[in-house]
Amino acid sequence: MPDIHIRKAGKIGHITLDRPKALNALSYEMCLEIEAALDAWRDDDQVAMILFDAKGDRAFCAGGDIVEMYETGRAGDYDYGRRFWRDEYRMNAKLFEFPKPVASLMQGFTMGGGVGVGCHGSHRVVGDSSQIAMPECGIGLIPDVGGSLILSRAPGRLGEYLGLTAGRMGPGDAILAGFADYYIPEGKWPDLTEQLIETGDWTLIDAAASAAPDSQLAALRPEIDEHFGGERLGDIVRSLENAGTEFAAKALKTLNRNSPLSMASALEIIHRVRGAESIRRALDHEYRFTYRAAEHGDFVEGIRAQIIDKDRNPNWKHTGPADVPAADVVNMLLPIPGVTLDFEGNTP
């Protein structure tokens, strides 16, 4: 398909996202094409490794293509979004569990659904332009596509901070937080790609890596760990309100913009999956929320305010981040009667 190029090149499986005008946003069809390639290459002896890259300078993948989810959800049709997330999560799991090395070259924006493609492999590469984030709480969702697992494994309380505030990570931050492994200047990427195609030798990535730039998050760790360790969202808000620091004021301003229900649920999911070995536990909890997001959450309103009307004035279901009853979080994260994710299935 024209939006994605999937081919065997030399000794690798090469997948290139090619929607640069749309910041390589991931469509439903692209998810299915990636999954089909993973299924085909898993036992193909001609494929030594997989390489993901993308066209354009602005983004590796700035997220999922959510306009159709908005339109169908607004019309009261929730099946499309549920199917999209179900099949996308199955692809995310197959990528995380893939038995061969998987490399990604992530320039520019890598957000949301892009994290699900670029940040579950074994050799995740960033450069100077890289900006990685999980911004879902700003549109009435939660960090998903397995992102909650990465957040739960971040040092200290970085995961809670990044998940709730949607903070953007430069290359040094992404490596610190566990979203990337290697810093390689982007000028070296074309030659590295050719060498990987020719040899299938993933150790060339290790050899090309340089020391990462300083992490801006590292300097904020003491305050992040102090204020984002609360059991519930209200605990974090109260800690920030009592701090009286510039960091706290900035964090509160961000939290007051995002969906309270999404943030409270994201925090609970991060806590629940901490220590999990498998991505499947994270995806299962994420799907409980996204399955209900359009019908019972803030998703449709969040997309309207941020993407469609762009008035940046969403009417969330709760008045503020400290006003989410625990029961509302429980209801969003209960097992879905009669519905389970099929991680072993094939592309429909």
- Which residues sit opposite 14 in a β-bridge? 7, 51
CATH number reported for the structural domain that contains residue 225 in this entry? 3.90.226.10
In the chain, how many domains are there? 1
Task: Answer yes or no: are the C-beta atoms of 265 and 142 closer than 8 Å.
Answer: yes
**What is residue 56's predicted lDDT score, i.e. its pLDDT?**
97
Do the domain assignments include residue 340? no
Alpha-carbon span 214 to 171, nearest angstrom: 8
Do the domain assignments include residue 343? no
Do the domain assignments include residue 342? no
Closest residue by Cα to residue 131 from 77, 74, 203, 179: 179
DSSP letters, 70-105, are HHHHHTT--HHHHHHHHHHHHHHHHHHT-SS-EEEE
**What is residue 346's predicted lDDT score, i.e. its pLDDT?**
65
Do the domain assignments include residue 254? yes
Residues of the chain with pLDDT under 50: none
Alpha-carbon span 40 to 342, nearest angstrom: 18
Alpha-carbon span 324 to 92, nearest angstrom: 30
**What is residue 1's predicted lDDT score, i.e. its pLDDT?**
65
Helix (H) and strand (E) counts for the chain? 16, 9
Task: Answer yes or no: are the C-beta atoms of 178 and 150 closer than 8 Å.
Answer: yes
DSSP letters, 297-330, are SSHHHHHIIIIIS-------SSSSTT---HHHHH
pLDDT in tens, 20-43: 999 999 999 999 999 999 999 999
**What is residue 31's predicted lDDT score, i.e. its pLDDT?**
97
pLDDT in tens, 74-105: 999 999 999 999 999 999 999 999 999 999 99
Task: Answer yes or no: are the C-beta atoms of 307 and 70 closer than 8 Å.
Answer: yes
Do the domain assignments include residue 43? yes
Do the domain assignments include residue 226? yes
pTM over 0.95, yes/no: yes
Closest residue by Cα to residue 272 from 257, 289, 260, 247: 289
Residue 9 sits in which domain range?
4-333
Q: What angle do CA 22, 96, 2 make, to 5 degrees?
A: 30
